[in-house]
Amino acid sequence: MGRGGRFGGSVRCFLLALGIAGAGALPEPRAGLGVCGRPGEAAQVGEPAPAPVSFYFSLLPIQLQVSDSAARSLLVSVSVSSAGPVSCREAKPSGSRCSALCLYLAGCLAAHLITKQIQALEAQIIVHVSCGKEHSLAVCNRGKVFSWGAGSEGQLGTGEFKEQSLIPKKIDGLSALRIIQVTCGHYHSVALAQDGRVFSWGQNTHGQLGLGKESTSQPSPQHVTSLSGIPLAQVAAGGGHTFALSLSGVVYGWGRNNARQLGLNHANTRDYKDKNYSQVDGFQMQLQHGLEQKLFCFCSPDKALTFLVLVDAVVGVYVNMRSQGQGNTIHQMLSSERKEAISHALGICASPTEQVFKPYAVAALKTIGVVYISCGDEHTAVLTQDGSVFTFGDDSAGQLGHRSSTQMPGPQKVEWIDGPVSHLACGSYHTLVYMSASGQVISFGRGPQRHIENGTTSNPGEQTQNFDISSLVSANDLSGVQVKMIFAGTYVNFVSTLQSQDLEQARGISPADTLQKISRLDRTVIDKWMAVTAGTDEFQEAKREIAMIFSSPACLSASFLKPSSALEANCVGVDLQKARDVFDELTKKEWIVNQINYYLWADLIPDLPLRSPHHEALSIFLLLPVCSVMYKEQNLEPFVMRLAQAINSMSDRSSNILEECWSSLSASFLDNVVQMFKKAVVSQLPYYAFPRCRDTKPLLEVLEKLYKANRKANYTLQLSNFYINEISGTFILPNDVGRWRSWQATANPCHEDDVPIIFCRFPFIFNLVSKIHVFYFDSFFMQEGAKVEAQFILRQNELLRKSELPELPVFPLLVKRSNLVEDTLRKLSLVEDSVLKKQLLVQFEGELMGLDAGGVTLEFFLYVFEEMVNPQYGMFVYCDPASPMWFPTSILGIRMRSL
């Protein structure tokens, strides 16, 4: 259903579609699904199956020969009376040359095949096609998309809701892009561009466009921003639902989910049953076992508030909140923002699941290694790396292939298939699989519903016939040939094969191998770039490739993906060491450096995914700091400062995911990120007194996020890694303390953008010397300020002839020499904290009061320190005469406890 296809290389390109000749659109299906057997014979019924039934007619596989001597790029349509639409794809293994293309057709046909050339596309080399319910798409070798058929829902992408278009027309909204894949649902269309972006158009009644709930049906292609930055391998569409598969094997689904065809349900929480804690929206989460993995407990950091969250796939997320202090319980709905945060953390859909308007990662499919997806009307099948098939969604016709009469929620493996599956395709109500080991094409599900032989009325309640098929094409039917691809329409199926001379080259080809991939770096591309000569065609091609890859977060991330198995233990999905080595190699060529600089500045950094809830999309933020061009002095402002601004503009959820990824980095790569932003801060220090230094604030805010991430990681880096030593001993510190005090006195969140840079708001960047200076200047300013204020009040009272004296701006401390420490501590404990910030004025009892120029205060501290460090005093202990003193195990020793 909605299957797209690719024709490759020297194989001539054919589109085989069943419909009424010349109609343009493909009509509603009316005929049946064929089986292997003679007309009039009873079908062989496989499991799951009702009792065997006889049917009016069935067809043996029909072999069609399409000669390679045909025109270089001939596109034909196959029109079959009384048959429904079919979506076909053909591809060749790399390097093979096929002298002929064999198509085996199995289906219910009431008339002979009529092939006609589509004249409007005869000048194009078509490499990919897909058919919806009443419309079709074709992609040429230049990446341009053509559409024709019904367009009342905007599914043609021509910018208008047109009833139908009988002649293929180019979709202008995609003309600036190179499209590599298209897929059609009933009334919507989706395209994947070579730069990794996904576009959708057509009907959005069920959210199948992935544009959000507010978006209506779209007559022209729209960018699906929720998938930005994710390196995708495939897009697939069903009747009203859509999927995208990432190169890492993560499946994203959206659209109609009335039959759970998206795989979003209770089963998605299974991956979390062994995880006791996680962090969601500032609350600690604990999974409660024994309740079908649907109940979660969240605690606030201070333990003052807890609430139980019941996750229900149908009604959403409900909460039972309890205050620890009062012990009462309150039932309420979670806020939509927190509900969405919980949902993404658990890998479930928290909104009512009949319709999902934005892509969600299907948690139940994350760890099984999905390599290909196919969609039916309301069911979905996925193929894994080990050849297993998992199905989910509507099973009313047995199209999921499960033996049990009780349908289990979520994706389930089709256990009875004997052997690894090579190819997979879904029709509207049936599923096809091909097993290369046995040479069988197997189908399960049903064909069309036809009235019984003696039935004459067309009442919906009349008895109808279902076909359950076990072996559509047996090994004997394909003796001596190799199945290349299988295609499933609503009621008609195609099997394409290779001739015997091509069998060896075709072995191991899977549906995923036939799909065009988004652009990415590999060894071949790198070697080509390093070897090209300026002014040649190869040089221009290399520049175009650099522009594509270094303009796209998805393409750059795709270049350094880790194997899927490495993702389970770490949220960092890219190989940073490999990326560092490649970037170091590329930057040896000056022309490559210039190209990378331009496209990072002009395209990639402005297009960073700032609102994505998906880990894969945020890998680009880990890759950029290992790119050596980011550290060049001339790039600190255009690159690093703009990157910092982008990070600070991220949504809370995206920012939390990025901090989680930072926490997972090794010390080497985490320090790499820290040093990059520190270097950018240092480059701005000469401008401290100028307004432009205000741009340093985003850099410090990112460093603060990194500091918090390091703390969560139990201090992977030492605190000294965050120190900016260049600040020490400069004019900046006294000025900065003054700014800090002024900001504290007049802070206004509404005018935060007008506040000059204040380093004291980020104390983690200060080393010990800087902190001492900050404390000194802060106390000095406070003491001098108190004196100025007292002088002002005194003069004001003199003018007003008032006798009141202002508060003394110093702290007079009168102590006894004979009992100095105890007397000092007792008097300090009796004053307010604010008094301790004033300038200290010491006087010894019984001695003449005079002007203290600092000598009395110095003598006071020397005596206090000498007595407190004495071992007999008990404040410190000495393990060894040569070792440093230390505090005793008791808080302050015996003498201190007596105070």
Q: What pLDDT, on a 0 to 100 scale, did the predictor assign at position 193?
A: 97
Q: What pLDDT, on a 0 to 100 scale, did the predictor assign at position 804?
A: 80
Q: What pLDDT, on a 0 to 100 scale, did the predictor assign at position 802?
A: 82
DSSP annotation string for 779-828: HHHHHHHHHHHHHHHHHHHHHTT--PPPPPSEEEEEE-STTHHHHHHHHH
Q: What pLDDT, on a 0 to 100 scale, did the predictor assign at position 327?
A: 40
Q: What pLDDT, on a 0 to 100 scale, did the predictor assign at position 478?
A: 63
Asked if the model's pLDDT at residue 321 lies above 90, the reply is no
Closest CA to 228 of 616, 649, 661, 617: 617
Asked if the model's pLDDT at residue 104 lies above 60, the reply is no
Work out the pLDDT band at 473, boundaries 50, 70, 90.
Answer: low
Higher pLDDT, 432 or 803: 432
Q: What pLDDT, on a 0 to 100 scale, did the predictor assign at position 84?
A: 33
State both tokens at 727: 């600040």
pLDDT digits (tens, 9 = 90+) for 144-171: 999 999 999 999 999 999 888 999 999 9
Contacts of 495 (CB under 8 A, 6+ apart): 61, 103, 104, 106, 434, 441, 473, 478, 483, 485, 486, 487
Q: What pLDDT, on a 0 to 100 scale, did the predictor assign at position 749?
A: 66
Burial readout 785-811 (b: 16 or more C-beta within 10 A, e: otherwise): ebeeebeebeeeeeeeeeeeeeeebeb
Do the beta carbons of residue 874 and residue 893 sit within 8 Å? Answer: yes
Higher pLDDT, 707 or 296: 707
Work out the pLDDT band at 837, boundaries 50, 70, 90.
Answer: confident
Asked if the model's pLDDT at residue 829 lies above 50, the reply is yes
Q: What pLDDT, on a 0 to 100 scale, did the predictor assign at position 290?
A: 33
Q: What pLDDT, on a 0 to 100 scale, did the predictor assign at position 645?
A: 95
pLDDT digits (tens, 9 = 90+) for 673-693: 999 999 999 999 998 888 777
DSSP 601: I
Between the alpha carbon of residue 329 and those of residues 309, 321, 338, 581, the distances in Å are 13, 6, 19, 57
Asked if the model's pLDDT at residue 377 lies above 50, the reply is yes
Asked if the model's pLDDT at residue 200 lies above 50, the reply is yes
Work out the pLDDT band at 339, boundaries 50, 70, 90.
Answer: low
Do the beta carbons of residue 195 and residue 148 sit within 8 Å? Answer: no
Higher pLDDT, 623 or 409: 623
Q: What pLDDT, on a 0 to 100 scale, did the predictor assign at position 595?
A: 96
pLDDT digits (tens, 9 = 90+) for 52-102: 222 223 344 444 444 333 333 334 333 332 223 333 333 333 333 333 334
Q: Choose the weakest-confidence range: 286-290, 432-436, 520-524, 854-858.
A: 286-290
SS3 317: strand
Higher pLDDT, 271 or 364: 364
Q: Choose the weakest-confidence range: 65-69, 476-480, 506-510, 886-890.
A: 65-69
Paired with 844 in beta bridges are 815
Do the beta carbons of residue 121 and residue 37 sit within 8 Å? Answer: no
Asked if the model's pLDDT at residue 850 lies above 70, the reply is no
Higher pLDDT, 867 or 479: 867
Q: What is the mean pLDDT of the chain?
A: 76
Asked if the model's pLDDT at residue 42 lies above 50, the reply is no
Percent of the chain at pLDDT exceeding 70: 69
Do the beta carbons of residue 205 and residue 240 sit within 8 Å? Answer: yes
Q: How many CB atoms lie within 10 A of CB 740?
A: 18
Q: Choose the weakest-confidence range: 7-11, 395-399, 528-532.
A: 7-11
Among 7-16, 570-579, 618-627, top mean pLDDT goes to 618-627
Asked if the model's pLDDT at residue 182 lies above 90, the reply is yes
SS3 540: helix
Q: What pLDDT, on a 0 to 100 scale, did the predictor assign at position 210?
A: 95
Asked if the model's pLDDT at residue 367 lies above 80, the reply is yes
**DSSP strands (E only) in 475-595:** 482-488, 493-498
Q: What pLDDT, on a 0 to 100 scale, did the predictor assign at position 51?
A: 28
Do the beta carbons of residue 178 and residue 171 sit within 8 Å? Answer: no
Q: What pLDDT, on a 0 to 100 scale, did the predictor assign at position 143?
A: 96
> In this structure, which amino acid lies at residue 565?
S
Burial readout 628-667 (b: 16 or more C-beta within 10 A, e: otherwise): bbbbeeebbeebbbbbbbbbeebeebbbbbbbbbbbbbee
| Residue 243: CA count within 13 A, CB half-sphere | 33
Asked if the model's pLDDT at residue 712 lies above 90, the reply is yes
